[in-house]
Amino acid sequence: MTTLSETDAKFLRIAYEEALAGFNEGGCPIGSSLAEGDRLIAQGRNQRVQQGDPIAHGEMDCLRKAGRQKSYRKMTLYTSLSPCMMCTGTIIQFGIPRVVIGEAETFPGNPDFLRERGVEVIIADDDDCKALMARFIQEKPELWAEDIAED
């Protein structure tokens, strides 16, 4: 497990708690938070199942809840799972300079793509995030396959 700063650990834990809440609601356990320094801007979770919205990924829900921002240039996005290409594109589009990822084993996502575009990426390799995703995939493999667009 990567050693995180106290601030990073706090906001990654919020992302994990959002993921756990999503799991307990019957959805995909992927959570996110957005912070500027020590200030929480927003938090959210994957809402695809709960809202029937195919693009309501954890990062997207968080950013939607953050509302309009004049700039994201001093913010960090925390996510329990490595972002898919849609969420990666949104991070780049909004100019979010830093992303802290709970885990990238279950789903490798796009950390290299982010790095190639100047985004600082930290993979925490968080045991809680990994355990929650492993449980979800074991209990709901069909929902996981749907979430990552695999047949």
Q: Quickly list DSSP for 110-150.
A: SHHHHHHTT-EEEE---HHHHHHHHHHHHH-HHHHHHHTT-
pLDDT at 149 over 80: no
Residues 6+ apart with CB under 8 A from 73: 95, 97
pLDDT at 150 over 80: no
pLDDT in tens, 8-65: 999 999 999 999 999 999 999 999 999 999 999 999 999 999 999 999 999 999 999 9
pLDDT in tens, 73-92: 999 999 999 999 999 999 99
Ramachandran angles phi, psi of 123, nearest 5° = -105, 115
Domains of the chain: 53-150 (3.40.140.10)
Tokens 């709960």 correspond to: 50
Q: What is the pLDDT of residue 151?
A: 60
Closest C-alpha among 63, 112, 108 to residue 84: 108
Confidence label for 1 from pLDDT (cuts 50, 70 and 90): low
Q: What is the pLDDT of residue 145?
A: 85
Residues designated catalytic: 59
Hey, which bits of 7-151 come out as E strands? Answer: 31-36, 39-45, 75-81, 98-103, 120-123
> pTM here?
0.96
